[in-house]
């Protein structure tokens, strides 16, 4: 890799902005967030960028590097071609507050719609569940809420269905609750109506960008879709329920 690289960084807010060039020295092992810090230290102390742990665990430093949603702290500079500028933009799906900082408050409003875990009886709280059952929902607990999946999901990104759609992050959360062996709540109506699960057409972009490698589509969204079909669209299941449910 060459000694210097040009970063083209978005500077502006939600209404207008520009791509500004900065030349930064490259060091071995450098990640994109390091380069942002170098720009802040040497060229533009007013460049706004959010970060926290710099270890891929806090989920704060999401952005779009050469058009791909990534955690900037996990994105090594040496994988980009020499002598080509690297473009860094804020996430496209959320309102831009300043430069690379965007407002993810909508996600927290979606989260508030989801009922927490619900135990049916006191005795259930004392019941242990097996390691196998724990393993199944554990995958969903890995989510660091970086919202890269929400950003790349084109139902949000291209169609702006924020009023009718929950997004992959919250399908993962619902899956973790719905598949919990001690939970008794039913969130299938919420999934179908308020979180708009039917809008997802399983094109797997959320899975592709997940930094925690959660199989969002295969392990969360599709199993939830199957459960919604059980509840609302399968006539044979409906008939069984009518005949055999007291």
Partner 1 sequence: MASEVSAPREYGLGKTERRDSWWVGPLATALGFGAFILYSTFRDIYNDDYVSFEGRAGWGELLSPFYSPLPPESIRGLLPIWFSPAFLILWAPGGFRLTCYYYRKAYYRAYFLDPPACAVGESRSKYRGETRLFLFQNLHRYFLYFALMFLVLLSIDVVRACVFESKDGGMTFGVSVGSLVLLANVTLLSMYTFSCHSLRHLVGGNIDCFSCVAFRKGRYKLWKGTSFLNKNHMLWAWVSLFMVGFADFYVWMVASGTIPEMPDELKELIEK
Per DSSP, 58 falls in state S
Stretch near partner 1 under the rule CB under 8 A, chosen from 24-32, 53-61, 214-222, 238-246: 214-222
Q: Tell me the closest approach of the beta carbon of residue 173 to partner 1, in angstroms.
A: 16
Distance (Å) of CA 221 to CA 55, 112, 116, 135, 198: 27, 19, 18, 17, 10
Q: Is 205 in the site for partner 1 (CB under 8 A)?
A: yes
Q: Does residue 40 belong to the site contacting partner 1 (CB under 8 A)?
A: no
Is 173 a binding residue for partner 1 by CB under 8 A? The answer is no
Answer left, alpha or beta for residue 173, where phi above 0 means left and psi between -120 and 50 means alpha.
Answer: alpha
In the set 66, 98, 114, 194, which binds partner 1 (CB under 8 A)? 66
Residues 175-194 that bind partner 1 (CB under 8 A): 178-183
Least separation in angstroms between residue 8's CB and partner 1 is: 6
Identify which range of 24-32, 52-60, 105-113, 202-210 contacts partner 1 by CB under 8 A.
202-210
Q: Does 4 bind partner 1 (CB under 8 A)?
A: no
Contacts of 52 (CB under 8 A, 6+ apart): 58, 60, 61
Shortest Å distance, C-beta 203 to partner 1:
5
* Contact between 142 and partner 1 per CB under 8 A: no
Burial class (CB in 10 A: 0-12, 13-18, 19+), 66: middle
170 near partner 1 (CB under 8 A): no
Q: Where are the beta strands (DSSP E) in 81-131?
A: 86-89, 96-98, 101-102
Give strand pairing partners of 96: 102
Which whole-number Å values give the CA distances from 70 to 1, 36, 145, 147, in the listed order? 21, 14, 13, 10
37 near partner 1 (CB under 8 A)? no
State the Cα–Cα distance between residues 196 and 129, nearest whole angstrom: 31
**Helix or strand (DSSP H, E) at 19:** strand 17-25
Which one of the spans 34-42, 46-54, 65-73, 111-119 is the region binding partner 1 (CB under 8 A)?
A: 65-73
Contact between 119 and 182 (Cβ < 8 Å): yes
Interacting residue with partner 1 among 83, 123, 163, 201 (CB under 8 A): 201
Contacts with partner 1, residue ranges (CB under 8 A): 8, 10-21, 64, 66-69, 87, 89-90, 92, 96, 129-130, 132-133, 152, 154-155, 157-159, 161, 178-183, 196, 198-205, 208-209, 215, 217-218, 222-223, 226-227, 229-230, 233-234
């Amino acid at each position: 890799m060459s000694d210097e690289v040009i970063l083209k960084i978005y500077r502006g807010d939600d209404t207008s902005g520009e791509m500004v060039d900065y030349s930064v020295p490259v060091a071995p092992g450098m990640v994109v967030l390091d380069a942002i810090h170098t720009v802040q230290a040497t060229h533009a102390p007013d460049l706004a960028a959010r970060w926290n742990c710099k270890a891929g665990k806090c989920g704060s430093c999401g952005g779009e590097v050469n058009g791909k949603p990534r955690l900037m702290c996990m994105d090594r500079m040496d994988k980009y071609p020499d002598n080509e500028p690297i473009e860094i933009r804020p996430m496209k799906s959320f309102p831009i507050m300043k430069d690379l900082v965007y407002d993810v408050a909508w996600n927290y409003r979606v989260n508030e719609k989801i009922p927490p875990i619900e135990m049916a009886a006191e005795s259930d709280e004392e019941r242990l569940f097996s390691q196998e059952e724990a393993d199944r929902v554990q995958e969903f607990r890995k989510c660091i809420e970086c919202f890269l999946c929400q950003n790349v999901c084109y139902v949000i990104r291209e169609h702006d269905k924020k009023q009718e759609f929950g997004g992959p992050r919250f399908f993962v959360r619902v899956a973790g609750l719905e598949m919990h062996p001690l939970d008794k709540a039913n969130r299938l109506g919420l999934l179908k109506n308020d979180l708009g699960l039917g809008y997802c057409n399983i094109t797997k972009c959320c899975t592709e960008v997940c930094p925690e490698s959660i199989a969002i589509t295969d392990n969360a969204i599709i199993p939830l879709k199957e459960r919604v079909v059980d509840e609302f669209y399968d006539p044979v299941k409906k008939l069984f329920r009518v005949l055999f449910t007291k």
